[in-house]
Amino acid sequence: MKDAPAILHDIRTIRDIESSLEEAETFIGRIKANKVRLTLQNGNVSITREELSKITDLVITLERSGKALETAVRYLRELMAYDEVTQLFSRRYLFHLLEKELHRAQRYDNPFAVLALEIDPFSHNPDLKHLSQEDLNLMMAETARVVRKYVRDSDSPGRTGERTIICLLPETDAKGALILGERIRKSVDKTYDLSSGPSHMTLVGGIVESHDPAATDMAGLLYLIDQKLTEARAKGPNVIVK
């Protein structure tokens, strides 16, 4: 897979971001839990009204800053986790979930399957040589709508490329993944009104199971996904291979 180094870098980056966010949230919690209290006993502690005002302002500032940081953390996580066009998980976050599920499968022997889908707007439209960004967004958004319609709550679909969507399917084998893939394939197989005129779109897909001997780490899993999509393109159009 040509962009495997970039993908592995993204996985490491999201680990670092999550760690930083957790540290920031812990800091906010400690600020909230430790309120400032001043006690004056028999004049042993002396403090001017001006100094007390400064301390009060500091506490208020800390509280406001904490709320702002909490909001920023929430928005950052949303921006980090979702693709703007499809509202599916982003590539970084989906690969992060894949890595976690792979470790879980290896530790607890919980199988999962991966369904990789790539839209194909060209095979049935020989005169179409290029898609505008607007048309690409329309096709990907429609494909994502179909994906969301058929996946389970426990499944995790994400956009991982310009025309690619990958679905992480816990507790699923190749047979179950194929049933899902066929439902999506048949629903997407239709004509769309693009800026360049009516255009028919299909998709190709590939299925990988976690117990494949080559899926020992993320690099191996991503290689298998890439190989399955390559096989589907060769057999296609409009086909899903397992």
Indicate whether 120 and 72 sit together in one domain: no
Supply the pLDDT for residue 126: 78
Each residue's pLDDT, cut to its tens digit, for the chain (242 residues) gives 555 565 666 666 666 666 666 666 666 665 555 554 555 556 555 555 666 666 666 666 666 666 666 766 666 666 678 898 999 999 989 999 999 999 999 999 999 999 999 999 988 887 777 889 999 999 999 999 999 999 999 999 999 999 999 999 999 999 999 999 999 999 999 999 988 889 999 999 999 999 999 999 999 999 999 999 999 999 989 999 99
Distance CA 190, CA 176 (A): 24
List, as own/partner pairs, every contact residues 5-8 make where C-beta atoms lie below 8 angstroms and the sequence separation is at least 24, other chains included.
Answer: 7/91, 7/95, 7/218, 7/222, 8/218, 8/219
Same domain, 51 and 124: no
Euclidean distance between CA atoms 32 and 37, whole angstroms: 13
Q: Give the pTM.
A: 0.73
Q: Is residue 227 part of a domain?
A: yes
Q: Based on the domain organization, do 158 and 190 belong to the same domain?
A: yes
Biggest alpha carbon distance in the chain?
Answer: 92
Last residue of a domain, one of 49, 81, 113: 81
Number of domains in the chain: 2
The pair of three-digit structure tokens given for residue 164, joined into one six-digit string? 């690619």
Determine the pLDDT at residue 130: 82
Q: What pLDDT digit, counting tens, does each position of 24-39 carry?
A: 666 666 555 555 455 5
Are 66 and 110 in a shared domain? no
Within a domain: 153 = yes
pLDDT of residue 173: 96
Q: In 10 A of CB 1, how many CB atoms?
A: 16
Q: In which element (H, E) is residue 92 found?
A: helix 91-108
For residue 163, give both structure tokens.
Answer: 């025309």
Instruction: Identify the three-state secondary structure at position 81.
Output: helix
pLDDT at position 240, please? 97
Query: Do both 66 and 97 map to the same domain?
Result: no
The reported pLDDT for the residue numbered 36 is 47
pLDDT at position 117 is 98
* CATH number of the domain bearing residue 185: 3.30.70.270
At 236 the pLDDT is: 83
**Residues 115-155: pLDDT tens digits?**
999 999 988 887 777 889 999 999 999 999 999 999 999 99
- Same domain? For 100 and 167 the reply is yes
- Regarding whether 53 and 23 lie in a shared domain, the answer is yes
Residues 151 and 211 in one domain: yes
Handedness of CA 172, 165, 157, 14 (dihedral sign): positive
Tell me how far apart the alpha carbons of residues 224 and 206 are, in angstroms, rounded to a whole number: 9
| Host domain of residue 63 | 4-81
Residue 102's CB is within 10 A of a number of other CB atoms, namely 20
Q: Do 24 and 58 fall into the same domain?
A: yes
Looking at the structure, tell me whether residues 76 and 125 fall in a common domain: no
**Of the residues 42, 62, 81, the one at which a domain ends:** 81
The rounded distance, in Å, linking the Cα atoms of 227 and 92 is 20
Last residue of a domain, one of 60, 81, 102: 81
φ, ψ for residue 86 (rounded to 5)?
-95, -20
Q: Are residues 132 and 157 located together in one domain of the fold?
A: yes
Residue 86 lies in a domain: no
- On whether residue 217 sits in a domain, the answer given is yes
Do 187 and 210 fall within a single domain? yes
